[in-house]
Each structure stands twice: as structure tokens, then as C-alpha cells.
Structure 1
Amino acid sequence: MIPEFHRSIYQSFKGDVEQFQTRLLQVESTPGEAREDTASTDLSVRLSALQTKFEIDICPLDLDQISDREAQQIRSIWVEIDKQLRLLRVDIGYIKTAKQPETMQRRLEQVKGRLERLIAYSERLLD
């Protein structure tokens, strides 16, 4: 769907999302208070980097080289990616303030789902 000359940028973004996902799995397996500390700091830092990459590297990409229909589809996916990134920020905020392990686990599951959606959007753009 995306122009060939943009492919490496999207592949890099997808790779960053996959690294975030891997780190999330590590956080899930971390016990007790160390888990809470790791979740609140590391995941926030990673999300900020991911949002920055999206805003600086992807959103400004020129879509003039492709058809209007394809450009509209890409922009539509960008909107969905942006939405998932904003919702991730909310979920991570809830993880930081979670008092109960069940609440934290539920939010970690939501984060996992959002990361899977981001990977799916990236794959769709790379197809």
C-alpha cells in the first residue's frame, strides 16, 4: 500500500512496536513492586519514543506519489495508529496508579491488545 521509498520507515516503526511488545512480556513476568516500577517508567519511555517516531517520521511523509484512494486509506490508518497510541498513554497512566494486581494485569492485557493492533496496522501498510 505504501510507496516503496517509505517502506523502511514503516518497517522501523513496526520493529519498535514489536520491541515494545517484547518488553511488555518481560514486565508481565517481573514479580511484585519491581514490576510496578518497571511498568511505570520503562513503558512510558518506550511509548514516548514510539509516539515521537510516529509524529516526526511518519505523519509528515509525502503521499503525493500515490493515488488519492491509497493516500486516503493510509491517512485513515494513521488516524487509527494515533488513536491507539493515545489510548496506550491512558492505559499506561492507569498502570502507574493501579493499587490492585488485578487492575494492573487487566491494563497490561489492554496494552498487549493495542500493540497487536498497531502491528496489524503496520503490516497492512506494508502489504
Structure 2
Amino acid sequence: MSERWPKELRVSPDRKLLTITFDNDERFELSAEMLRVLSPSAEVQGHSPDQRITVGGKRNVAIMKMDPIGHYAVRITFDDMHDTGLYSWVYLYKLGSERATLWQNYLDELNEKGLSRDPVR
């Protein structure tokens, strides 16, 4: 995949959806929940594959703000105060283009670990 550049990033009024359009006119809608649970941060991904954690309970998470990081990424702050992931254009393109597979893998991991998308009450 050659590197793609975003033309537009738009957060929905309810803050639950990020729509990103790339320079090849591909457009992806990524839920705040998916962005949060697949955060590229070390907190979620760990420092090696065996340290990666499965984050549950984020069904209702919302995007609070987005800050550009140079010309290559955006930092997303979620309403649960997670803000350590830098979402590169390459990573956002991967999330969009592989969304169905990545999301199903996440749902399968939740099931295997007895976790839920719903917040703990």
C-alpha cells in the first residue's frame, strides 16, 4: 500500500464517529469505540505482541478532541481521558480498509476473554 494522505477528518455531532476521506477518495467511517479499543498506544498495544491487551467496556466512548501531530498523525482524546495513541495516516487507512476483519477479531477476543463492550456498572 502506498501512503495515503487524508483530505478530510470529520467528527459526527454526537462525537461517536470519525469520517475520514483520503486523497484517493476512499472514505471510511470509524466508530469512536473501534478507535479507542484498537488504539495504537503502548497502553493498549504493549511493547510486544504478547503484552497487547483487549479493552472492553467502551461501547459508549466518545471523541473529545483531535490534535494534529506534525503532518503524519492525529492524537485523539476520548471522553474516558485516553489520549496516548498517535493515529498515523497509515494506521487510520489500515483501520478503514480492514475494518470488518479487525472488528470481528476484536469481538472474538472479547468473547474468548469473557469481556463485554458495555461498561462495567
TM-score bracket relative to the smaller structure: under 0.3
Normalising by structure 2, report the TM-score: 0.27
Structure with more helix by fraction: 1
Structure with more strand by fraction: 2
Q: Which has the higher contact order (CA 8 A, sep 6+)?
A: 1
Normalising by structure 1, report the TM-score: 0.26
Answer with 1 or 2: which has the greater Rg.
1
